[in-house]
Amino acid sequence: MGEEYVIHHPDDLLVYEYDGSVDRNVPQAVVLPNSTEEVSRVMALAYREGIPVVGRGSGTGLSGGAIAPEGGIQIAFPRMHHILEVDTENCSATVQPGVINLDLDTYVRRFGFRYAPDPSSQRACSLGGNIAENAGGPHCLAYGCTTNHVLGMEVVLEDGTIVNLGSTARQTPGYDLRGVFTGSEGTFGIATKIMVRLLPVPEAVKTFLGVYPDVDSAATAVSAVIGHGIVPAALEMIDALSIRAVQNVMDAGYPEDAGAVLLVELEGLQEEVDEIGAEVEAALWESGPSLVRVAEEENDRANLWIGRKGVLGALGSLAPNYYLVDGVVPRTQLTQVLRQVSRISEEYGIPIANVLHAGDGNLHPSLLFDERQPGALERVIEAGAEVMKVCIEAGGALTGEHGVGLEKKELMPLSYSQDDMDAMLLVRQAFAPENRLNPGKIFPDGTHYQPPARRPEPGMTV
Amino acid sequence: MVDRSSSGASGQRSAATDQRPLDAAHWLGDDLLGDYAIDGQAPDGVVRPESRQQVAEVVRWARQENVALFPRGGGVHVPLGSPPGRRGVVLDLSRCNRVLDFQPSDLTVTVEAGITLDALQQHLATGGKFLPLESPISGAATIGGSLAANVTGPLRSSFGLPREWLIGIGVVNVQGVETKAGGKVVKNVTGYDLDKLYTGSLGTLGIIVEAAFKLAPLPAESGALMAVLPSMQAGVDSGSVLAKQVYAPQGLQVLEQRLARRLSRRIGVNPSLSGIQLPETGQGECVALALFSGRAAAVRRKLRESAAFLRDRGASQLTEVTGGQAARLHRAVTDLGWEQDDLPRLTLRVNVAPSDTGKALVWLSGSNEADYAPQAEMIPVDVIADPGFGMVRVFVWPDGPEGGADDAQSMDSRLRGNDDRRGEPQIRVDDAQQASFVSRVRELARGIGGSAVVERASPEFKGMVDVWGDSPEGSHIMERIKDKFDPTGIFNPGRFTGGI
pLDDT digits (tens, 9 = 90+) for A196-247: 999 999 999 999 999 999 999 999 999 999 988 899 999 999 999 999 999 9
At B81, the pLDDT band (50, 70, 90 cuts) reads very high
**Nearest by Cα to A326 from A341, A313, A339, A336:** A341
Predicted confidence (pLDDT) per residue in B445-455, tens digit: 999 999 999 99
The CA-atom distances, in angstroms, between A263 and each of A221, A292, A329, A356, B340 are 11, 10, 19, 10, 51
Tell me what pLDDT residue A8 has.
Answer: 86
Please list every residue in chain B whose beta carbon sits closer than 8 Å to the beta carbon of residue A230.
217
Q: What is the pLDDT of residue B401?
A: 58
Instruction: Compute the distance between CA of residue A357 and CA of residue A337 in angstroms, rounded to an integer.
Output: 14
How distant is the Cα of B42 from the closest Cα of chain A, in angstroms?
Answer: 26
Q: Is the pLDDT of residue B424 over 70?
A: no
Residue A162 near residue A36, CB atoms below 8 Å: yes
Beta carbons of A24 and A366 less than 8 angstroms apart = no
pLDDT tens for residues A407-448? 899 999 999 999 999 999 999 999 999 999 999 999 999 887
> Hey, how many other C-beta atoms are within 10 angstroms of the C-beta on A407?
30
Side chain identity at residue A251, one-letter code:
D
Residues of chain B in contact with residue A399, where contact means CB-CB under 8 angstroms, are 188-190
Contact call for residues A77 and A97 (beta carbons, < 8 A)? yes
Q: Between β-strands A29-31 and A73-76, what pairing exists: parallel, antiparallel or unpaired?
A: parallel
Distance spanning both ends of chain A, measured CA to CA: 36
Q: Is B145 exposed, middle or buried (0-12, 13-18, 19+ CB in 10 A)?
A: buried
Of all residues in chain B, the one with the smallest CA distance to A113 is B244
- Cα–Cα distance between A20 and A120 in angstroms, integer? 12
* Gap between the Cα atoms of B125 and B131, Å rounded: 10
Q: Percentage helix, strand, coil, to 5, in chain A? A: 35, 20, 40
Alpha-carbon distance A322 to A158, whole Å? 35
- Contacts A404 to B, Cβ<8 Å: 189-191
Q: Which of A180, A268, A415 sits opposite B192 (nearest CB)?
A: A180
Examine the pLDDT at B341 and tell me if it is beyond 70: yes
As a whole-number percent, the residues of chain B with pLDDT over 90 amount to 77
A5 near A31, Cβ under 8 Å? yes
| Residue B16: per-residue pLDDT | 52
| Rounded Cα distance, B74 and B299, in Å | 34
- Smallest Cβ distance to A420: which of B156, B160, B179? B179
User: Which chain B residues have a beta carbon less than 8 Å from that of A283?
Assistant: none
B477/A397 Cβ within 8 A: no
Query: Searching chain A, which residue's CA lies closest to the CA of residue B349?
Result: A171
User: Chain A residues with CB inside 8 Å of B485's CB?
Assistant: 423, 426
Distance from C-alpha of B268 to C-alpha of B282, rounded to nearest angstrom: 19
Nearby residues of A2 by Cβ (< 8 Å), 6 or more positions away: none
- For residue B481, give the nearest of A430, A161, A432, A175 by alpha carbon: A430
User: Concatenated DSSP letters for B395-461?
Assistant: EE-TT-TT--STTHHHHHHHHTT-STTTTS----HHHHHHHHHHHHHHHHHHHTT-EEEEEEE-HHH
Dump the DSSP string for B226-254. EEEESSHHHHHHHHHHHTTSTT--SEEEE
Reported ipTM: the value is 0.95
Q: Are the Cβ atoms of A170 and B391 closer than 8 angstroms?
A: yes
Structure confidence at residue A349 (pLDDT): 97
- Residue among B103, B188, B471 whose CB faces A397 most closely: B188
B477/A163 CB distance under 8 A:
yes
pLDDT of residue A10: 85
CA distance between the termini of chain B: 18
How close A230 gets to chain B, by Cα (Å)?
7
Q: What is the mean pLDDT of residues B406-425?
A: 38
**Position A393, amino acid:** E
Task: Count, in order, helices (H) and strands (E) of chain B.
Answer: 17, 18
pLDDT at B312 over 90: yes
Yes or no, beta carbons of A133 and B189 under 8 Å apart: yes
Look at residue B367 and tell me whether its pLDDT is greater than 80: no
- Under an 8 A CB cutoff, do A182 and B193 touch? yes
Reference A97, options A52, A155, A37, A166; nearest CA is A155
Position B108 pLDDT exceeds 60: yes
User: Going by DSSP bridges, is the β-strand pair B251-256/B221-229 parallel, antiparallel, or unpaired?
Assistant: unpaired
Say how far apart CA A72 and CA A69 lie, in whole Å: 9
**Chain B residue with the nearest C-alpha to that of A267:** B246
Q: Is the pLDDT of residue A255 over 90?
A: no
Whether the Cβ atoms of residue A118 and residue A111 lie closer than 8 Å to each other: no
Q: Please report the beta strands in B54-206, taking only residues with DSSP state E, as ranges in sequence order.
A: 68-72, 88-92, 99-103, 108-112, 129-130, 166-172, 178-182
Contact: A89, B240; criterion CB under 8 Å: yes
- Give the span between the Cα atoms of A161 and A155, in whole angstroms: 8
Q: Is B1 helix (H, G, I), strand (E, B) or coil?
A: coil
- CA–CA gap between residue B355 and residue B361 (Å, rounded): 12
At A162, is the secondary structure helix, strand, or coil?
strand
Give the residue from A310, A304, A302 showing the smallest Cα distance to A292.
A304
* Nearest alpha carbon to residue B289 among B242, B252, B337, B248: B252
Q: Do residues B2 and B36 touch, judged by C-beta distance below 8 A?
A: no
B192 in Cβ contact with A434 (< 8 Å): no
In this model, does residue A107 exceed pLDDT 80? yes
Find chain B residues with C-beta within 8 A of A183's C-beta: 189, 192-193
Tell me the chain A residues in contact with residue B150 when contact means C-beta distances shorter than 8 Å. Answer: 171
DSSP assignment letter at B10: G
List the alpha helices (DSSP H) in A36-183: 36-49, 101-109, 127-133, 140-143, 177-181
Q: Is the pLDDT of residue B425 over 60?
A: no
Angle value at C-alpha B391, between B389 and B392, nearest 5 degrees = 150
Residue of B nearest to A425 (CA): B192
**3-state secondary structure at position B22:** coil
Q: What is the largest CA-CA distance in chain A?
A: 65
All residues of chain B having their beta carbon less than 8 Å from the beta carbon of residue A186 are none
- Share of residues in chain A with pLDDT > 70 (%): 96
> Can you tell me the distance from the alpha carbon of A102 to that of A126, in angstroms, rounded to the nearest whole number?
9
DSSP A343: H
Q: pLDDT at position A13, please?
A: 87
> Does the pLDDT of residue A460 top 60, yes or no?
no
Which residues in chain B are contacts of A167 at CB distance < 8 A? 353, 449-450
Please name which of A83, A88, A85 lies closest in space to residue A198, comparing C-alpha atoms.
Answer: A88
The length of chain A in residues reads: 462
Q: Name which residue leads in pLDDT, B396 or A227.
A: B396
Output phi, psi for A27, to 5 deg.
Answer: -75, 165
- For residues A92 and A461, the model is more confident at A92
How many CB atoms neighbour CB B111 within 10 A?
25
> To probe the interface with B, which of A176, A187, A225 has the most B CB atoms within 10 Å?
A176
CA A369 to CA A455: how far, in whole Å?
10
Indicate whether A454 pLDDT > 60: no
Distance of CA B95 to the CA centre of its chain: 21
Give CA A129 to chain center in angstroms.
Answer: 10
Neighboring chain B residues of A235 at a CB cutoff of 8 Å = none
Nearest-Cα residue of chain A relative to residue B390: A169
User: Can you tell me the mean pLDDT for A309-324?
Assistant: 91
Which residue of A165, A175, A183 is in closest CB contact with B201? A175
CB pairs under 8 A between A and B: 249
Q: Do B246 and A203 touch (CB under 8 A)?
A: yes
Beta-carbon separation of A330 and B150 below 8 A: no
Q: What is the pLDDT of residue A92?
A: 97
Partner-chain contact B298 A275, CB within 8 Å: yes
The set of long-range contacts for A145-148, using a CB threshold of 8 Å and a minimum separation of 24, is A145/A117, A145/A401, A145/B187, A145/B189, A146/A117, A146/A182, A146/A183, A147/A179, A147/A182, A147/A183, A147/B193, A147/B196, A148/A197, A148/B160, A148/B164
B429 has a pLDDT exceeding 80: no
The one-letter code for the residue type at B482 is K
B196–A172: do the CB atoms touch at under 8 Å?
no
Measured between CB atoms, which of B191, B195, B450 is closest to A421? B191
Choice among B38-52, B137-151, B403-417 with the minimum mean pLDDT: B403-417
Q: Are A252 and A310 in contact (CB under 8 A)?
A: yes
Provide the phi-psi class of A258: left if phi over 0, else alpha when psi is between -120 and 50, else beta.
beta
The pLDDT of residue A191: 98
Cβ burial, residue B470 (10 Å; 0-12/13-18/19+): middle
pLDDT at residue A357 is higher than 60: yes
Q: Assign B219 to helix, strand or coil.
A: coil
Is the pLDDT at B18 greater than 70? The verdict is no
Q: Which residues in chain B touch residue A426, judged by CB atoms under 8 angstroms apart?
A: 481, 484-485
**CB of A154 within 8 A of CB of B455?**
no
In contact, A361 and A237? CB cutoff 8 Å: no
Average pLDDT score over residue span A346-360: 96
